[in-house]
Amino acid sequence: MTGNICVLAEQWKGQISEVTYELLVLGREVADQLGVPLTAILTGFRSRDLAARLGAADSVINIDHPLLAEVIPQTCTDALVQVLTGTRPGAVLVPLTNISLGIGTLIGARMGLPVVNFCNDLKVTDGRIEAHCVMYGGKIEAIVEARTASALQPAVLGIWPGARRADNGRTERAVPVTDAAVVLEGTQPIRLSKYIEPEAGGVDLTKQDVLVAVGRGIQDRGNLSMAEDLANALGGAVCGSRPVIDQGWLPLSRQVGKSGLTVKPKVYVALGISGAPEHIEGMKDSRLIIAVNSDPRAPIFNVAHYGIVGDVLEMLPALTAAIEARKAAGQHA
């Protein structure tokens, strides 16, 4: 595996996570530029079937063990270190999600490898990997050279979700799967006691094609019905920035941003949202962003594809009426 680019394939409750496909796309770009193979490493229990979904890699290493049924960073690290020890991958890409966050850093600490976290992009320059890192909700950006000590020394790279489009990493291609045996102690220091499920009955924002997001500029809970009307006209759902959730106008399951959900709908309509880094982090990869704000200097306009400078309370009924009129005329909204 010398020089290979490895991707830690994250799974959650029997499904490959979206971020895994994103990392496979990014890993493929890096591997191709370096002229080395791309390997996916999957941990789990009786989850070999999931390896078939990782055809974007050139090969898959499947680590199967009862203690890997749940993603416990320490246990996964024990397994991964056994597989990686003695090999010389070029880099190990690890998703920076709540599930996998700790694994990359633990691998680095256990194997004495350099770890670069908070990456949202990787580039190959003169045969070396450069990581583009974003910290503190976008307030600090840094270019970090991943390999410092020797050209053969691997690095562990923690990658934010959203680095690439997941769709491009899904393929039916069949690739070789190797089963790797590991020895894990029955008495792991950390065990999962139970899941606490999020409140039931909420809309899953991550599955919506259209999101109508409201911010403090909506001014009053009573005005939310106008946003609901627009969302209904567009066939989407309403979500909000943190102040809207903090005031109890929408449930926590509707919060977008750093301490909420990361969404990538086809259309994201931001109404009276200033565009703080913590909000942008959760929606910047939406395919089409339309912003309405009374302040022409609002940072949301830096990421919006279309912007309307105006009063959201005037714009909302006008937008909804225009969309309903187009639908009535048999045109696409």
Residues at the site binding ligand FAD, with contacts judged by CB under 6 A: 215-217, 241-243, 255-260, 272-274, 276, 278-279, 282, 292-295, 298, 311-313
Q: How far is the CB of 254 from ligand FAD (least distance, A)?
A: 11
Count of beta carbons in the 10 Å neighbourhood of residue 212: 29
Rounded to a whole number of angstroms, the minimum distance from the CB of residue 197 to ligand FAD is 20
Q: Residue 241 or residue 320: which is nearer to ligand FAD going by CB?
A: 241
CB of 304 to ligand FAD, least distance (A): 12
Q: How far is the CB of 225 from ligand FAD (least distance, A)?
A: 16
Closest CB 283 distance from ligand FAD, rounded Å? 9
Residue 108 or 215 having the CB closest to ligand FAD: 215
Question: Closest separation between CB of residue 139 and ligand FAD, Å?
Answer: 11
Q: Say if residues 28 and 115 touch (Cβ distance below 8 Å).
A: no
Closer residue to ligand FAD, CB minimum distance, 176 or 310: 310
| Separation between Cα atoms, residue 228 and residue 211, nearest integer Å | 10
| Nearer of residues 16 and 298 to ligand FAD, judged by Cβ | 298
CB 307 within 8 A of CB 291: yes
Cβ atoms < 10 Å from Cβ of 127: 11
3-state secondary structure of 29: helix
Strands (DSSP E) contained in the chain are 5-9, 11-12, 15-16, 38-44, 59-64, 91-95, 115-125, 128-135, 140-145, 155-159, 177-180, 210-214, 237-240, 267-271, 288-293, 306-309
Minimum Å distance from CB 277 to ligand FAD? 7
Nearer to ligand FAD, 52 or 261 (CB): 261
Smallest Cα–Cα separation from 200: which of 153, 251, 166? 251
Give the DSSP H/E element, type plus range, for residue 85: none
> What are the two backbone dihedrals, phi and then psi, of residue 236, each rounded to the nearest 5 degrees?
-125, -160
Residue nearer to ligand FAD on the CB measure, 265 or 282: 282
**Which phi and psi (to 5°) does residue 331 adopt?**
-100, 160
Between 52 and 313, name the residue whose CB sits nearer to ligand FAD: 313
